[in-house]
Amino acid sequence: MRKYTGSVDRFFLFCKVQQSSAGNALASAWDFDTGGGKTFETVILSGNGQLPATHYGANTVVDSAMKNGISNAITQGTPWLTGYKESDGYTFKTACEDINLKGIEELT
């Protein structure tokens, strides 16, 4: 297992629901602990804030290696994955606004 080398940035990530298995496989490769395979499951989003969900969202603190891996995935042929960096001035809220997504309140 790769050792975490310290935080350098935070990513806000959005994966289309249909590709969540592929997104979780990528996240497993980036993530230094065991949680990567469940990255795109919890935060559900859509354009109108109602079901059905169109995207899953996540945010993660990254070290240099993770930052490079995520940046490469976002820019090199994964159109179903969108990412924003905190160092570019984004928050989860402003990233959602930029791609017109709203959180869905789960019904219990």
Instruction: Count, in order, helices (H) and strands (E) of the chain.
Output: 3, 5
* Euclidean distance between CA atoms 108 and 106, whole angstroms: 6
Tokens of 13: 């990530």
For the chain, the first-to-last Cα distance in angstroms comes to 37
Taking the model in full, what pTM does it have?
0.87
pLDDT tens for the 108 residues of the chain, in order: 556 567 789 999 999 999 999 999 988 887 766 677 888 998 999 999 999 999 999 998 888 888 888 898 888 878 899 999 999 999 999 999 999 999 998 653
